Amino acid sequence: MTYDANKLVSVYVKIRDAREKLTEQYEKDKAKLEAQLDTIEKELLDICKATGQDGGKTSAGTFTRSVKSRYWSSDWASMHRFIREHDAIDLLEQRIHQTNMRTFLSEHPNLIPEGLNVDSKYTITVRRARS
């Protein structure tokens, strides 16, 4: 079987361009809908504040006011110390920084953590020809 790399790259670029246009339109439409939802959520919060209730029931559905908290650190050195001092490793998410792990393994090829899984595969990068 013979392959025509020129044709394959040409089709690849066209498909990628079409996908990017779809994504751009999706992002625009999504932003409009999110703005509308934000406006409605603010009005529902105003209703809760005005009535002193944490929600309500309507013929279209119910709404509930709740508090959502998000946490982050502006001083990671202090956070690392705190976690060590209080043996609070569970405060961190269970994921590996990909670039740092790749660097660590290249610098220490004989030190592989037990249970480390690696998924490596070849990939293709396609760049558009310069006009």
Kindly report the backbone phi and psi dihedral angles of residue 34, in degrees, each rounded to the nearest multiple of 5, phi listed first: -65, -40
> What confidence score (pLDDT) does residue 3 get?
87
pLDDT confidence band for 80 (50 / 70 / 90): very high
The beta strand positions in 24-107, using DSSP E, are 55-57, 62-64
Q: Give the count of alpha carbons within 13 A of 24, CB side only.
A: 6
Does the pTM of the predicted model rise above 0.85? no
In a domain, 90, yes or no: yes
The answer to whether residue 68 is domain-embedded is yes
> Is 31 domain-assigned?
yes
Structural domain includes residue 131: no
| Residue 1 confidence (pLDDT) above 80 | no
Using pLDDT thresholds of 50, 70 and 90, give the confidence band for residue 131: confident
117, part of any domain: no
> Is 72 part of any domain?
yes
Across 95-124, b (16+ Cβ under 10 Å) vs e yields eeeeeeeeeeeeeeeeeeeeeeeeeeeeee
2 pLDDT band (50/70/90 cuts)?
Answer: confident
52-67 per-position pLDDT tens digit = 999 999 999 999 999 9
Residue 13, classified by CB atoms within 10 Å of its CB into exposed (0-12), middle (13-18) or buried (19+), is middle
Residue 62 lies in a domain: yes
Element containing residue 68 per DSSP (H, E):
none
Q: Is residue 58 part of a domain?
A: yes
Task: Report residue 87's pLDDT band, with 50, 70 and 90 as the boundaries.
Answer: very high
* Total domain count, the chain: 1
Supply 93's token pair: 């998410």
Per-residue model confidence as pLDDT tens digits over 100-123: 999 999 999 999 999 999 999 999
Q: Residue count of the chain, please give it.
A: 131
Mapping DSSP to helix (H, G, I), strand (E, B) and coil, where does residue 123 land? coil
Q: Report how far residue 130's alpha carbon sits from residue 13's, in angstroms, rounded to the nearest whole number.
A: 12
- Expressed as residue numbers, the domain containing 34 is 5-107
According to the model, what pLDDT value does residue 7 have?
A: 95
6-53 per-position pLDDT tens digit: 999 999 999 999 999 999 999 999 999 999 999 999 999 999 999 999
- Show the tokens assigned to 72: 């982050």
